[in-house]
Structure formats: structure tokens, C-alpha cells
């Protein structure tokens, strides 16, 4: 095994160890498009390709919000997506974290003055992590997810203190 | 079966990138975070007029860029004649609060 | 077609139509005919039935401030040559109704529903007047595209209903899918009616990502409109913004430098390659051929990072500007493009070799999701989907823009109309695109990148067609003071969505994902 390949291995182990520590298992992410222009979706799809391969960290993009630890929301939340977004959020078990990805999801971005748009996800849901970009590059999404993991860790600790 | 192995693994080796264990530097000219050079900016306000989303505000001796509004288009850097605003390649910008995305730059010039 | 025949077209009109013509004018290849409102439907039917023209768009503009009327524009492309025909009618503001085109031209269906909810123009005789995008709680009588609508005032929510088509009978089940899907795709609602396994009806309800882009564009100065048009449909942002820039340039009469035309061509093709790679990978993935899918995604990623190395943006954003382009390709850029393309081509050949020999894949894609050429013609589909169903249309060849006129390429054509044909069209188009980029790099002259465009006169109309990877996109701009008075965007997906309802018919539900992937339509571009 070459040195470089070993690096990938260690890195994978580290992140994996982190997810295992925080969740006791791998982390499930559900992507919700709340009105994006679809470039954000292209980048999320890139994450699962073998170039970025986030599965190696124990991060899964799952098909149902019911399996999700985190919701990755893109788009400014259009009028027609308000209800589906809230329903998806309610379907996810708590503690669930919300990641707003892209300028649109954070603030409405270039669409903030449209008549059928809101100014980002925070108008509807408590947002835990924000990933700026238009669209954020895949590495930036990975970094955002790492921030989210830290957040989840602190929240869990908070929850166990209360007990 | 072996054909796939051949094409997939033997021919290309490992294609997976090493981020985040190794730092990743985007190629030159890549549009990352808009940054301000406090020595060169003269508070002329052109960048803020050019910004399509109103992400830049000027007050006192401070230029504030709101990365939550920014669409990373590079208009501000293009409009700045004095080299005050430039597009850095910084991309690791995720934070936990909206407030942290408002980046303040002190202007000395 | 040369100007001569275009004039004859007016002279040859049947007398009943000829008497309704208010005025007509010919400018370069663009024939404009104004007809009285009662003859609009007849004229449109004549264009399709007699001249075999293709419908490009039907849309309205609110000009009540100027002459008290709404203008309806129906735009056609002639089947041969570069001819464009616009049939225009004025509809009085006090009686906003006209005779629907839909009974004669099925493809006008969604356009008229769009005008109905945007402008309140009632198409009499239209069979289906349900809202297209503004359902669920949109108050009646609020028409956002009218000029007196103020987008900054929030629109109240009122309870409204929406009726889906129902198929009834013994053993028939309905399966609602969406708007939030299992995969990472955009939101839309699909309602299947199945009898056992086969789908006997599919209804697609779009509009979930409707933002109000056309209205927003009316408030943005032209240079900002370029940025907005890059985000109409993110993955074909370059060709969309190119169409917008070309529309403005045609109003201003700007002369785009030769070098910029070649660069625009190269960038358009780079965009096509990465998207087609994604589609091909998607088809492989949905037929459970993971190795092929990953190989295609790796190739797509290589194209995306090539885009970034050349222009600074993975999605070729901030490249177009009105009058030309902003990013040059220098010697070292040329070199890295040509090395990358050579490598890409070799690996792509491997991939294609595998995919076209895999029995398990071929078994899933052959005769799946058939769209017959008749259906394709009636539905007026565009792009690779049309070319897979035997319709020989390609904007790059038929209405050349940028530098396509000077480059040679062929347009792949298949007749089967199934997923396989669509996959093959995309595969062959990738190879054509590689050759187009190479040619453009070779022949690109030295020179300026961007012409100064200062004077965009108000009250003029500019239109441009470009070929995105999904097919023909149209941007139509009526200029106002420093910004569009009306900006109509027609993404290829808007014409192609109704076709998926036909293609799915008779297939089993588990085949829907792969059919959908082979169409790969944009939700955002459709919903605007
Ligand atoms: S943030 Fe940018 S890329 Fe993402 S959906 Fe919004 S406009 Fe598109
Ligand atoms: S950054 Fe440049 S454009 Fe902006 S205020 Fe400073 S000098 Fe002016
Ligand atoms: S990059 Fe564009 S959006 Fe961001 S601050 Fe500069 S001008 Fe504004």
C-alpha cells in the first residue's frame, strides 16, 4: 500500500470514528430541494461519486426523512415547497439537525425578491449549520457536514446532562 | 467480472480525493470567498453598488461582506479599481450561526 | 429559408386568413405578422398544418399602459432554414380572452395555462384550465405577470383545491409520488394509475420550484439579468445566459467579437459534456450497473474541474456577459483542455464499450419508455429526446449562433424512441462535442473578448435560441428602461415534460426512474 492510500485510510477511520462516537452508528442525511436551481443538487450528487465518496466516512444520503439524522436543505423555499418541507422535517426523528446549503437556503440568494420565494430556510425551521456558496463545492459540503457532526455531538452532550 | 476490475481499479487506481485529511487548494482563479485588502481599499463603495444581492455594506472604516447573501459571482472584485476587493480561493466557510457569516474587514487606507 | 419564400408565405395565405392580417414585416430571417385576435388560432393552425413549422413559444406581454392591450406572441420556427415567424395579436385589456390554440395544437396547452394564471388571459375552448404553478392557496384574480402586480407585497394564502385526473375501474390503484423524492432530485409530483404492474396513466404536476424568475428579471438591469439567467436551471446555466445575452445583443445590434463567439461555443460544449456524462451515469445507476455509473461520474467530475481550471467556476458561471465573454482560454488553457479531452475520450470509449455490451443493461433500456415519432411530433418535443424519436432538429445547425456556422458536426438521429435510443444520442453527442471543442480551439482567432454594449433601446424585441443539453432554450426580451419590460424564458423541459406522461404509458412502475433519467428534465427551468 502506498503512503497516499494509507492517508485515505486513516482519514476515513478518523471521520468514521467521529460519526460512531457521536451517533453510535453512521450518519444519515436526507436532501430536500426547496426550490433550488439544481446546481446545488449536482454538487450533492457528486458527493456520492467515487471521487468524494462520503460513504467512506459513514455518511449516507438516505431515501426517506424517517431515517435521517440531518436534513440538507437547498433552495430559497418556494411558496409551493413550504408545506412539503415542513412535513419532511416533521417526519425526521429528533434530534435532527438542519443544514442550509447554498446562498438560496441561507438568505434567498439571488431569488430573495421573487414573489413566490421566501428568504431562506430559517423562516421555517431552526437552522443549525450554514454552508455558503452558489453552489458550495463538494469539499465545502463535506466541511459543513463535519461542522454539523460537532453540533450534534454538543447537543447530545447537552441532552445527557439534562437527564 | 475481471473486465470491470481491470477498467475500474487497475487502470485508474484510487480516484478518491483526500480531503479533508489533506488540505485542498482550488485551482487558480477559482471563485471563492470575496476578501478585502484593508491596505488598498479606499471605501469608494463601487463593490457594494455592483453586488447583485447587496451582500456588501460599508460603514465607518469597515467593509462587511455577508457570505450568506453572496453568490460568489466576482462582480465586486471586477468593479474594484484599487485592488481592495478580490476573490480568494477560500471555500471552508460553513458555520453554525448566521451572524458568523457576516465578515467584517477593517480598512486602514 | 431565404427571405423570398418568407414573403411568399404571407402572399400564399388563404384569403380568410389574409384578410385578418393587420400588418407584416420581414427583418433578416424573422417574419412578424400581426393578426386580429379572432384569427390567431386559425393562423397558428395554418403555420403548423400547412407550413409544418415547429411551435417555439406562446406568451403574452402586458402593454396596457401603452395601448390598453395585452399582446400575445406565438412563435414558430420553419422546418428548413433559419426562418422564425412571430404571429402577434392584441387582446383588449377590458376583455382578456381569445380563442384557444390547444384544440388544434396540443403543444400550446401548458403555454396557455401559464398565460391564464400569469396574465388572466382566458383561452376560450381550452380543455383544461387548472393552474400550472399557482395552485394550493393562490388567490383567484391575482395575476403576477401583469404590470400592476407588486411583487414586494406578500400574496395571501387562501384555501383552494386541485383536481387530479382520475382513472376508475376494478383493480386500478393510484400511486402518488413526490414532491420530495427518494433520490437527490428536484421536487415534482407524479401520480401513477396502475392496473397491476403496468402504468395506465401518469399525471405530472410541476410548479413546486416556481419562484417568479420572469417577474424578477423585469426589475433587474441587464447585466444582473445575466446572473439571474445563469441560475434559471443551474446545470445549463451557461446556455441560458448565452441566450439572454444574445437576445439583448440583438436588440442593441452589438457585434460580438469573433474570438468570443468561439469561446462561447467551446463553453457550451463543455457544459453539454458534463451533463450528458451525468445522464449516462444515471441510466447506468438505475439499471443497477454501478461500475459504469461510477465511471461516468468520475468523467463528469473531471469535466467539472476542467471547467473550474479554465473559468474559475465549476458551472461556468460569471463567464458570459452582454457583448461577449469574460474569460479567455490562453495557450496553457488550450493545452489542458486538449490533454483532458484526449484522456476523457479514451475512458469514455471504455465506458461506452461496456454499456453497449452489457446484456443486463440493454435488457432494461431497450423498448423501455417508448416515445413514437408521431407522438414526439405532436407533443413538439426538442433536444436529444426528439432526436431519439426520429425528429431531426438541432438549434446549433438549424439556427446557428456563436461559431457553430463555421464548425462541422453531425446530429445523431435514432428512430426507436426508447431509453436506449436516448442513451445512444447522448453518447454520440458527447463525441461530437469533444470534436467541436477541438475545432473551436484550433480555429479561434485572436482578438477582443467583449464588445461594448451601451445603447439598449427601449420598446424593442430581441429573441435568441440556443441548444442546451436538454434541447432548445428560448429567451425573448422586450426591452424597457435599462431592464427588460418583459422577459420570457422557455426552457426545453417545458416542452418535454408532457412527453414523459406518454412515454411511461404501459411500462411498469419500477422502470419509471430510468425513463425519467433518460429524459433528465429540469424542474427548475420548467417552473421558473
Ligand atoms: S445557492 Fe446558487 S446554486 Fe444553489 S440553488 Fe441557489 S442559485 Fe442555485
Ligand atoms: S473594496 Fe474596492 S470597490 Fe469596495 S470600497 Fe474598497 S476600494 Fe471601493
Ligand atoms: S461575489 Fe458577487 S455576490 Fe458576492 S459579494 Fe461579490 S458581488 Fe456580491
**Residues composing chain C:** 528
B60 has a pLDDT exceeding 50: yes
Residue C43 and residue C9 in contact, taking contact as beta carbons nearer than 8 Å: no
Q: What average pLDDT does range C306-335 have in this prediction?
A: 90
C248 and C347 both lie in a single domain = yes
C75 and C118 both lie in a single domain = yes
CATH code for the domain in which residue C61 is found: 3.30.460.80
Report CA-CA distances (Å) from C127 to C56, C99, C102, C108, C423. Answer: 21, 12, 8, 11, 35
Report CA-CA distances (Å) from C497 to B5, C115, C380. Answer: 38, 18, 11
* Residue A132 to residue A103: CA distance in whole angstroms: 6
Residue A152 and residue A132 in contact, taking contact as beta carbons nearer than 8 Å: no
Task: Name which residue leads in pLDDT, C14 or C314.
Answer: C314
* Residue C366 to residue C369: CA distance in whole angstroms: 9
Q: Give the three cell numbers for residue A147.
A: 461542522
- Could you read off the pLDDT of C505-517 as tens digits, one per residue? 888 888 888 898 8
Reference C98, options C125, C80, C118; nearest CA is C125
Beta-carbon count within 10 A of C196 CB:
9
Please report whether residue A17 resides in a domain.
no
Reference C434, options C247, C306, C251, C295; nearest CA is C306
Report CA-CA distances (Å) from C157 to A33, A82, B60, C160, C472. Answer: 22, 12, 42, 9, 36
The pLDDT confidence band at residue A8, using thresholds 50, 70 and 90, is very low
C221 and C237 both lie in a single domain = yes
C224 and C319 both lie in a single domain = yes
CATH code for the domain in which residue C501 is found: 1.10.645.10
Please report whether residue B91 resides in a domain.
yes
CATH code for the domain in which residue B64 is found: 3.30.70.3270
The pLDDT confidence band at residue C168, using thresholds 50, 70 and 90, is confident
Please report whether residue C449 resides in a domain.
no
Residues 6+ apart with CB under 8 A from C187: A33, A34, A81, A84, C178, C179, C180, C181, C208, C209, C523
C63 and C187 both lie in a single domain = no
Residue whose Cα lies nearest atom 2 of ligand 1: it is A134
Please report whether residue A116 resides in a domain.
yes
The count of domains in chain C is 3
* Residue C321 to residue C242: CA distance in whole angstroms: 8
Please report whether residue B8 resides in a domain.
no
Report CA-CA distances (Å) from A24 to A17, A19, A66. Answer: 9, 7, 18
Pocket lined around ligand 1, Cβ cut-off 6 Å: A 36-37, 39-40, 74-75, 102-104, 109-110, 134-135; C 231, 234
Please report whether residue A67 resides in a domain.
yes
Spacing, Cα C312 to ligand 1 middle (Å): 17
Please report whether residue C271 resides in a domain.
yes
Please report whether residue A21 resides in a domain.
no
**Residues composing chain B:** 109
Please report whether residue A82 resides in a domain.
yes
Please report whether residue B47 resides in a domain.
yes
Domain containing B37 equals 25-106
- Could you read off the pLDDT of A18-62 as tens digits, one per residue? 666 666 567 889 999 998 998 999 999 888 888 888 888 888 888
C435 and C302 both lie in a single domain = yes
Please report whether residue C365 resides in a domain.
yes
A45: closest CA of chain B, how far (Å)? 15
Domain containing C372 equals 213-385+393-409+430-442+458-527
The count of domains in chain B is 1
Residues 6+ apart with CB under 8 A from C253: none
Helices (H), ranges, chain B:
2-5, 46-50, 75-79
H/E run at residue C177: strand C172-177
C195 and C281 both lie in a single domain = no
C180 and C284 both lie in a single domain = no
Domain containing A70 equals 28-148
Residue C209 has its nearest CB partner, among A31, A81, A88, at A81
CATH code for the domain in which residue A123 is found: 3.40.50.12280
* Interchain contact A8–B (C-beta under 8 A): yes
**Widest pairwise Cα distance in chain C:** 70
Residue B81: predicted pLDDT: 83
* Residue C92 to residue C98: CA distance in whole angstroms: 10
Residue A113 and residue C151 in contact, taking contact as beta carbons nearer than 8 Å: yes
C476 has a pLDDT exceeding 90: yes
- Could you read off the pLDDT of C494-504 as tens digits, one per residue? 999 989 988 98
Residues of C in contact with A105 (CB under 8 A): none
**Which residue reads 434567498 in cell numbers?**
A108
Q: What average pLDDT does range C378-397 have in this prediction?
A: 90
C188 and C104 both lie in a single domain = no
The pLDDT confidence band at residue A163, using thresholds 50, 70 and 90, is very low
Cis before A135? omega within 30: yes
**Which residue reads 404492474 in cell numbers?**
C197
Which range (A114-123, C105-114, C148-157, C236-245) has the least confidence?
C148-157
Residue B30 has its nearest CB partner, among C224, C227, C312, at C312
Residues 6+ apart with CB under 8 A from C292: C281, C284, C351, C354, C355, C358, C361
C22 and C40 both lie in a single domain = yes
Q: Is A63's CB within 8 Å of C215's CB?
A: no
Print burial letters for C326-348: b (CB count within 10 Å at least 16), e (below 16).
Answer: bbebeeebbeebeebbeebeebb
C451 has a pLDDT exceeding 70: yes
Residue C17: predicted pLDDT: 80
Please report whether residue C340 resides in a domain.
yes
C259 and C194 both lie in a single domain = no
Residue C32 and residue C42 in contact, taking contact as beta carbons nearer than 8 Å: no
Residue C103 and residue C76 in contact, taking contact as beta carbons nearer than 8 Å: no
Please report whether residue A57 resides in a domain.
yes
ipTM value of the model?
0.89
Q: Give the three cell numbers for residue A31.
A: 436532501
CA-nearest residue of chain C to A136?
Answer: C314
Please report whether residue A13 resides in a domain.
no
Edge-first strand order for the sheet with C84-92 is C21-27, C30-35, C84-92, C69-77, C54-63
Which range (A50-59, A150-159, C183-192, C217-226) has the least confidence?
A150-159
The SS3 of residue C370 is: coil
* Residue C128 to residue C114: CA distance in whole angstroms: 12
* Interchain contact B54–C (C-beta under 8 A): no
C273 and C380 both lie in a single domain = yes
**Which residue reads 465549476 in cell numbers?**
C314
The count of domains in chain A is 1
* Rounded to 5°, angle at Cα A147 from A145 and A152: 90
B vs C, Cβ pairs < 8 A, gives: 43
* Residue C491 to residue C468: CA distance in whole angstroms: 9
Amino acid at each position: 500500500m502506498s503512503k497516499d492510500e494509507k492517508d485515505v485510510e486513516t482519514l476515513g477511520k478518523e471521520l468514521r470514528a467521529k460519526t460512531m462516537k457521536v451517533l453510535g452508528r453512521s450518519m444519515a442525511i436526507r436532501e430536500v430541494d426547496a426550490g433550488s436551481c439544481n446546481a446545488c443538487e449536482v454538487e450533492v450528487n457528486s458527493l456520492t461519486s467515487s471521487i468524494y465518496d462520503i460513504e467512506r466516512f459513514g455518511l449516507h444520503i438516505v431515501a426517506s426523512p424517517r431515517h435521517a439524522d440531518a436534513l440538507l436543505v437547498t433552495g430559497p423555499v418556494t411558496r409551493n415547497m413550504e408545506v412539503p418541507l415542513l412535513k419532511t422535517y416533521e417526519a425526521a426523528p429528533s434530534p435532527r439537525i438542519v443544514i442550509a446549503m447554498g446562498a438560496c437556503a441561507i438568505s434567498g440568494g439571488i431569488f430573495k425578491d421573487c414573489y413566490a420565494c421566501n428568504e431562506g430556510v430559517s423562516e421555517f425551521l431552526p437552522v443549525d449549520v450554514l454552508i455558503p456558496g452558489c453552489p458550495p463545492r463538494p469539499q465545502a459540503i463535506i466541511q459543513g457536514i463535519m461542522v454539523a457532526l460537532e453540533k450534534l455531538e454538543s447537543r447530545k452532550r447537552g441532552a445527557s446532562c439534562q437527564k | 467480472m475481471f473486465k470491470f476490475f481491470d477498467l475500474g481499479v487497475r487502470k485508474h487506481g484510487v480516484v478518491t480525493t483526500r480531503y479533508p485529511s489533506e488540505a485542498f487548494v482550488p485551482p487558480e482563479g477559482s471563485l471563492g470567498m470575496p476578501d478585502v485588502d484593508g491596505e488598498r481599499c479606499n471605501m469608494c463603495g463601487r463593490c457594494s453598488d455592483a453586488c447583485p444581492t447587496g451582500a456588501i455594506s460599508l460603514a465607518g472604516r469597515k467593509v462587511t461582506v455577508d457570505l450568506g447573501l453572496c453568490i460568489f459571482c466576482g462582480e465586486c472584485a471586477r468593479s474594484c479599481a484599487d485592488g481592495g476587493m478580490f476573490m480568494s480561493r477560500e471555500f471552508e466557510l460553513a458555520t453554525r450561526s448566521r451572524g458568523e457569516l457576516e465578515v467584517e474587514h477593517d480598512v486602514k487606507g | 429559408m431565404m427571405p423570398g419564400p418568407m414573403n411568399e408565405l404571407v402572399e400564399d395565405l388563404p384569403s380568410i386568413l389574409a384578410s385578418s392580417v393587420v400588418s407584416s414585416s420581414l427583418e433578416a430571417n424573422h417574419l412578424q405578422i400581426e393578426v386580429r385576435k379572432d384569427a390567431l388560432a386559425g393562423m397558428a393552425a395554418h403555420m403548423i398544418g400547412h407550413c409544418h413549422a415547429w411551435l417555439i413559444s406562446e406568451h403574452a406581454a402586458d402593454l396596457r399602459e401603452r395601448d390598453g392591450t395585452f399582446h400575445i406572441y406565438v412563435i414558430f420556427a420553419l422546418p428548413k432554414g433559419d426562418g422564425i415567424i412571430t404571429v402577434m395579436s392584441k387582446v383588449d385589456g377590458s376583455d382578456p380572452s381569445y380563442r384557444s390554440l390547444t384544440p388544434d395544437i396540443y403543444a400550446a396547452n401548458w403555454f396557455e395555462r401559464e398565460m391564464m394564471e400569469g396574465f388572466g388571459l382566458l383561452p376560450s375552448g381550452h380543455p383544461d384550465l387548472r393552474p400550472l404553478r399557482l395552485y394550493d392557496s393562490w388567490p383567484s384574480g391575482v395575476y403576477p405577470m401583469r404590470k400592476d402586480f407588486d411583487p414586494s407585497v406578500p400574496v395571501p394564502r387562501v384555501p383552494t383545491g386541485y383536481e387530479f385526473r382520475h382513472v376508475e375501474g376494478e383493480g386500478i390503484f393510484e400511486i402518488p409520488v413526490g414532491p420530495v423524492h427518494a433520490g437527490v432530485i428536484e421536487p415534482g409530483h407524479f401520480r401513477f394509475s396502475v392496473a397491476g404492474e403496468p402504468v395506465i396513466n401518469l399525471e405530472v404536476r410541476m410548479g413546486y420550484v416556481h419562484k417568479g424568475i420572469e417577474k424578477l428579471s423585469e426589475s433587474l438591469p441587464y447585466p444582473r439579468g445575466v446572473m439571474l439567467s445563469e441560475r434559471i436551471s443551474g446545470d445549463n446555466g451557461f446556455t441560458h445566459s448565452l441566450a439572454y445575452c444574445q437576445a439583448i445583443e440583438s436588440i442593441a445590434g452589438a457585434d460580438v467579437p469573433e474570438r468570443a463567439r468561439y469561446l462561447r461555443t467551446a463553453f457550451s460544449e463543455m457544459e453539454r459534456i458534463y451533463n450528458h456524462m451525468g445522464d449516462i451515469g444515471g441510466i447506468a445507476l438505475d439499471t443497477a450497473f454501478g461500475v459504469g455509473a461510477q465511471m461516468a461520474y468520475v468523467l463528469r467530475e473531471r469535466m467539472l474541474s476542467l471547467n473550474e481550471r479554465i473559468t474559475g467556476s465549476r458551472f461556468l458561471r460569471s463567464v458570459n456577459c452582454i457583448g461577449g465573454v469574460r474569460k479567455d482560454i490562453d495557450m496553457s488553457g488550450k493545452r489542458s483542455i486538449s490533454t483532458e479531452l484526449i484522456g476523457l475520450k479514451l475512458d469514455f470509449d471504455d465506458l461506452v464499450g461496456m454499456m453497449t455490451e452489457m446484456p443486463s443493461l440493454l435488457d432494461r433500456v431497450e423498448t423501455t419508455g417508448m416515445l413514437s415519432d408521431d407522438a414526439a411530433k405532436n407533443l413538439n418535443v426538442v433536444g436529444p429526446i426528439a432526436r431519439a424519436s426520429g425528429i431531426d432538429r438541432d438549434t446549433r445547425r438549424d439556427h446557428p449562433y456563436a461559431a457553430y456556422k463555421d464548425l462541422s458536426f453531425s446530429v445523431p438521429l435514432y428512430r426507436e424512441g426508447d431509453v436506449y435510443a436516448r442513451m445512444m444520442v447522448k453518447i454520440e453527442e458527447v463525441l461530437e462535442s469533444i470534436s467541436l471543442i477541438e475545432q473551436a480551439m484550433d480555429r479561434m482567432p485572436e482578438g477582443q473578448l467583449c464588445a461594448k454594449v451601451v445603447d439598449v433601446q427601449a420598446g424593442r424585441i430581441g429573441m435568441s435560441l440556443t441548444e442546451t443539453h436538454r434541447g432548445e432554450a428560448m429567451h425573448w426580451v422586450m426591452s424597457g428602461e435599462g431592464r427588460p419590460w418583459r422577459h420570457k424564458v422557455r426552457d426545453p423541459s417545458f416542452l418535454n415534460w408532457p412527453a414523459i406522461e406518454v412515454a411511461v404509458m404501459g411500462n411498469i412502475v419500477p422502470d419509471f426512474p430510468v425513463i425519467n433519467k433518460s429524459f433528465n428534465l429540469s424542474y427548475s427551468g420548467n417552473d421558473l
